[in-house]
Structure 1
Amino acid sequence: MEKTRRMSRIFAKDGKSITLALDGYYFSTKTKGIDETISQLPGLIGNGLDAVLVTYGMAKRYAEEFSDIGMLVRADLSTSVFDPSVPYTTGIVTVEEALKLGADGIISMTFPGASNEVSSHRIAFDLARQADHWNLPFMCETLPYGYAVTSEASNRPDVIASGARLGAELGADIIKTRFSGNKEDEEIVRLANRPVLALGGPKTGHILDYFTFVRHCMDVGAKGVAVGRNITQDENPAGVVAALDVLVHQNGTAQEAYEAYQSGHVTA
Structure 2
Amino acid sequence: MNRIFAADGKSVSLALDGFGFSEKTAGVDAAARKVPEMVEHGLDNVLVTYGQARNFAQYFTGAGLTLRVDTTTAVYDGSVPDNMPAFDILDAVKLGADGVVIMNFPGAHNERATNEFAARLTRQSAEWNVPFMCEALPFGYAVTTPESADPEKIATAARFSEELGADIIKTRFSGTDRDRLIVENCTVPVLALGGPKSDHETYFGFVAHVMACGAKGVAVGRNVTQDPKPLAMVSALGALVHEDATAAQAMALYTQIDD
Match of 1:251 among 198, 222, 244: 244
Match of 1:226 among 219, 222, 231: 219
Whether 1:128 aligns to 2:122 is yes
Whether the 8 Å CA contact 1:237–1:265 is kept in 2: the answer is: no
Match of 1:149 among 143, 146, 152: 143
TM-score for both structures, normalised by structure 1: 0.94
Task: Give, in whole Å, the separation in 2 of the partners of 1:116 and 1:48.
Answer: 37
Task: Give, in whole Å, the separation in 2 of the partners of 1:201 and 1:79.
Answer: 24
Q: Secondary structure at the match of 2:133?
A: strand
Task: Give, in whole Å, the separation in 1 of the partners of 2:23 and 2:257.
Answer: 30
Give the letter for the 1:32 counterpart. Answer: A
Deviations 1:16-57, CA, capped at 9 Å, x for gaps: 000000000111123211011122222211110000000000
> Is there any run of 5+ residues in structure 2 with no aligned partner, and where?
none
Whether 1:46 aligns to 2:37 is no
Whether 1:213 aligns to 2:211 is no
Whether 1:15 aligns to 2:9 is yes
Deviation at 1:201, TM superposition (A): 3.9
Percent identical: 52
Deviations 1:110-154, CA, capped at 9 Å, x for gaps: 011111111111111111111111000000000111212111000
User: How many corresponding residue pairs?
Assistant: 259
Q: Secondary structure at the match of 1:9?
A: coil
2:256 aligns with: 263
Alpha-carbon RMSD across the aligned residues, in angstroms, is 1.0
Whether the 8 Å CA contact 2:122–2:165 is kept in 1: the answer is: yes
Task: Give, in whole Å, the separation in 1 of the partners of 2:42 and 2:258.
Answer: 13
> Is there any run of 5+ residues in structure 1 with no aligned partner, and where?
1-6
Whether the 8 Å CA contact 2:14–2:220 is kept in 1: the answer is: yes
Whether 1:62 aligns to 2:63 is no
Task: Give, in whole Å, the separation in 2 of the partners of 1:190 and 1:181.
Answer: 16
Task: Give, in whole Å, the separation in 2 of the partners of 1:233 and 1:43.
Answer: 16
Give the letter for the 1:42 counterpart. Answer: P
